[in-house]
Structure 1
Amino acid sequence: MSKSTATIDIAHGWVSQPQGRGTFDIILSCLTTTFLCSWSALCLNVPEPGTTRWGFLRYKLRWQLFTVFFPEMIMAMAAEQWESANQSVAAFAKLGHTGWTMRHAFFADMGGFLLAAPDFPPFPVDGQQIAYLVEHEYLPLPSVTEAGIRDKNKADGFARCLTLVQIFWFSIQCIGRAVQRLGLTTFELSTIAFVLCTLHTFFFWAQKPLDVQTPIVLPTTHRIRDVLIKAGPPAERSYSRTPLDFLKPSSDPKSMTAPFWFGLGTIFDVGKESPTRPIRTFGNNKTFPPAGLSWLQSAYGILFVLAFIGIHLIGWNFVFPTPVERILWRIAALALQGLILVYLVALPTAPFICRRLAWLMYGKKVSTALEFAALLPRWAKLAMAIPVALTYTLARAYIILEGFISLRALPAVLFTSVSWSQFIPHL
């Protein structure tokens, strides 16, 4: 695939499939795999109360489109939610409540429980907050069973099985083409990267309920005012989401999703929750593990993203319709890798630098780079966020777009089907 187009037989335009696979086969295989993965793996939090059936469908379709562009961010969200659920189960186990399972924890963190106090509008409580309320006897342990949560789960087992079958068949096809040196298109290469994200997301969200639309109300006779008074100074600060914000720590400096959402929120107001206070449900991007992330987990996340982006580097010497497109593909892949390297440099250095700057500029103490960024004026936030977001978005958009436009002129060998008879002796 590294030869020039002058020495390779190029098939131009639409290729039919009677004697091999055609353009339609490539498009159908990649689009089917991408659609099934982005739809069946997406486990969203409980939507705003009053959301209609069609409203929920639009809500999920928007997130599906986001998943197509940024599957690695969805995987990172799922991983952080999974770790948060693990820590929630551990917290309840310390209280002697071993019946609190991962499904309970996921259900709580996705806004599945609403606390109804006599002096306050109902608001969602996550697993950490429920553990606090149970420990201090403001609330009995929720009596909902794991079976009850399963009953709210709208998971379509057939759709997920169909997705796994499609992933298996698509992967076998790609492996077969690699073994027989038939090559892959850039469209298929991008789909392989998407499949990698989907398999991880399936694992992390395996026990998270799917498409839950109605929460469970937890009534309490205790007033929120009394809870805050007894909590002392930590609860005296004004809240930004719910009165129990004092129990929710800030995002971990090692989080890979927090900088992403901060940048998008600064530029486009993307990912922001309802302006109503207290909020009525948790945003999909707001679940952070209470005890933070370990360095091992952070290292795994970095290696995963490097692998995800590195898959696109396999296309470095692919034959493209024009030399300009090949150069742009290389630039896009290198730009994505470069942003990860910048993150690696900033991870250990940014907190130290930002702590000093916050004290010198504002006389305030901060613990993370994002806390310092929140102090800056909007123009300064935009100056930091726009170059990174623009580079990342343009690089991802070009990689997706090139998968389609490169189909107009491909090496003829890419339309040769795998000869499965050659594998029979090995099978």
Structure 2
Amino acid sequence: MMRLLLCMILYLVGVIQAAPTTNATTTSEYFEAPSFTNRTLSSIISSSVLTLFACVYTAIHPNIPSPEDSPFYILRRRLGIMIVALVVPELVVVWAMRQWTSARKVTEDFEESGYFNVPRPQKQSENRELAEVPAEQLEDHDRARLLDAPAEASTFKKLFQAYFSNQSEDYAWTQTHSFFLLMGGFMLYVDGEPYITLEPHEILNLIREGCIDAPTLTAKQIGDKSKGNVISKGLVILQVTWFILQLITRAIYHLETTQLETGTLAFAVLNFLTYALWWNKPLDVQCPYPVYWKSTESKLEDHINVVTYDDEEDVISAIIVPILELTSSFVYRHRLRVPTFDGSLGARNKWILVFAGILIATTFGGIHCIAWFFTFPTNLEQVLWRISAVAITCTPCLEYLSFNFIFGDKITIKPEIIRQIIYMLSIVTTVTFGLLYIVGRVMLVVLMFTTLRHLPLDAYTTVSWISLVPHL
């Protein structure tokens, strides 16, 4: 009898936990059931879309546009980046990884050059004796004499303020400088006109040859150009963290999760990686820092390769060039800006980046597989979701193998006719995998919203305390 009563109590507790009631609470000696409340379809969509917007728009740190680009052209490029981030978000993470590894290498090279570690000249002081004391030894100097003499105390106060002012204006090269350089932050001006965006090795060579002066730009000044700071980035991270937390609570209490939230979760996971890699990269900088040519004894062409690529407006170039830039297969150089999806030094740590890219793509697709047994309005939509999830999980690895087989000079089969047939089949396979992935991504985005038309009642129930967590 006692066992039957205990089973009934446990059953009722489980029912109360899953029931879509408002502020219903059940307690026992050892267990307190959570309080549930209802949510609306608009709140589901708004929280997911806001998080998705944070992942696709706010988390992207584009390179600096050309001074000749119109506002419409800049907006169009930004929309193109958003579309790419929606279709192939894992390549955006790899893009951020390439820039992060390149920024570390640039920081090492510029620190070793010695051009950017020169202390800022001190201002003249009324007290010459104290002015000759190094700033780092100022605190160890005999201050008793300064404090005892009122006239000299004023001098010490000025030097004390100047010391901390100089500390805040640190001209040492940092990771922020490297990101700023890689995103096209230094523009060479000749005769008052912008000539070309400088690359890292070009800056060092021109400074070494005395053709330009070392840029005097602090990390604080670069941050002033940026549209993002710790607070703005923190708000985005807060929203993404809240979104992930509320999905975890739904899983704990066995509440239904929508396909839109599952897809947004995949973007949120990749968003954390992108933000971590681009934390020191300035956001939405519109104007590069000018560096002026001062040499009169040497020609510009002797120091800089001026062979560049001009944008074409045809559709093929608009599609092919970004793909080549994202995969780092081939990068065109533009005269007045760095490529849209580049800003790296090339193939450093290539195999690590390839492995990381495949792992990220597999993780991104695997998260969509969480919705394998979710409730769908129709069986066809469930089948399409499963096929698309498997496609975006497996095709990145297969795509890379096919691509490497074509361009890795691995085809040594004879006779020639068989080699050509295998070569053509490899190209067809590579294109097929690429199209399959794109179709799968588009299909998942469409299904995220079409499945909202008929949701189970459990999907409208949520834990009350999750709304108390700060979020946007």
TM-score when normalising by structure 1: 0.73
Q: Which residue of 1 aligns with 2:397?
A: 341
Relative to structure 2, which stretch is displaced further, 384-393 or 138-147?
384-393
Q: CA 1:277–1:351 in 2, change beyond 3 Å: closer, same or farther?
A: closer
Computed over aligned residues only, the root mean square deviation of the Cα atoms, in angstroms, reads 3.6
Partners of 1:33 and 1:191 within 8 A in 2: yes
Q: Which residue of 2 aligns with 1:239?
A: 307
Letter in 1 for 2:246: Q
Q: CA 1:335–1:291 in 2, change beyond 3 Å: closer, same or farther?
A: closer
Aligned-partner SS, 1:115 = strand
Deviation digits for residues 336-387 of structure 1 (CA, Å, limit 9, x no counterpart): 1221221453476555435869xx99xxxxxxxxxxxxxx9xx999957643
Letter in 2 for 1:200: L
Greater C-alpha Rg = 2
1:35 is the counterpart of 2:53: yes
Q: Which residue of 1 aligns with 2:319?
A: 268
What pairs with 1:47-126 in structure 2 (closer than 5 Å)? 47-53=65-71, 56-96=74-114, 97=116, 99-117=172-190, 122-126=195-199
Q: Which residue of 2 aligns with 1:387?
A: 432
Q: Which residue of 1 aligns with 2:445?
A: 400
Q: Distance in 1 between matches of 2:184 and 2:223?
A: 15
1:210 is the counterpart of 2:228: no
Q: Which residue of 2 aligns with 1:322?
A: 378
Q: Distance in 1 between matches of 2:227 and 2:374?
A: 42
Q: Distance in 1 between matches of 2:439 and 2:446?
A: 10
Aligned-partner SS, 2:264 = helix
Q: Which consecutive unaligned segments of at least 5 residues does structure 1 have?
A: 1-10, 12-17, 229-234, 243-263, 362-375
Aligned-partner SS, 2:462 = coil
Q: Which residue of 1 aligns with 2:329?
A: none
1:280 is the counterpart of 2:348: no
Relative to structure 2, which stretch is displaced further, 313-322 or 45-54?
45-54
Q: Which residue of 2 aligns with 1:4?
A: none
After TM superposition, give the deviation of residue 30 of structure 1 in Å.
0.4
Letter in 1 for 2:440: A
Letter in 1 for 2:319: F
Partners of 1:110 and 1:126 within 8 A in 2: no
1:226 is the counterpart of 2:302: yes
Deviation digits for residues 311-350 of structure 1 (CA, Å, limit 9, x no counterpart): 0111122221111111111111111122122145347655
After TM superposition, give the deviation of residue 161 of structure 1 in Å.
2.8
Q: Distance in 2 between matches of 1:215 and 1:419?
A: 48
Deviation digits for residues 257-311 of structure 1 (CA, Å, limit 9, x no counterpart): xxxxxxx9668345399xx996211122133334612534433332222111110
Q: Distance in 2 between matches of 1:305 and 1:151?
A: 35
After TM superposition, give the deviation of residue 241 of structure 1 in Å.
4.2
Q: Distance in 1 between matches of 2:192 and 2:44?
A: 60
Q: Distance in 1 between matches of 2:189 and 2:411?
A: 39
User: Percent of pairs identical after alignment?
Assistant: 29
TM-score when normalising by structure 2: 0.67
Deviation digits for residues 140-179 of structure 1 (CA, Å, limit 9, x no counterpart): 3222222221221122554423222211221111010011
Matched positions, count:
358
What pairs with 1:124-143 in structure 2 (closer than 5 Å)? 124-143=197-216
Q: Distance in 1 between matches of 2:274 and 2:107?
A: 20
| Among 341, 347, 358, the residue aligned to 1:302 | 358
Relative to structure 2, which stretch is displaced further, 382-391 or 153-162?
382-391
Q: Distance in 2 between matches of 1:299 and 1:204?
A: 17
Letter in 1 for 2:463: V
Q: CA 1:120–1:291 in 2, change beyond 3 Å: closer, same or farther?
A: farther
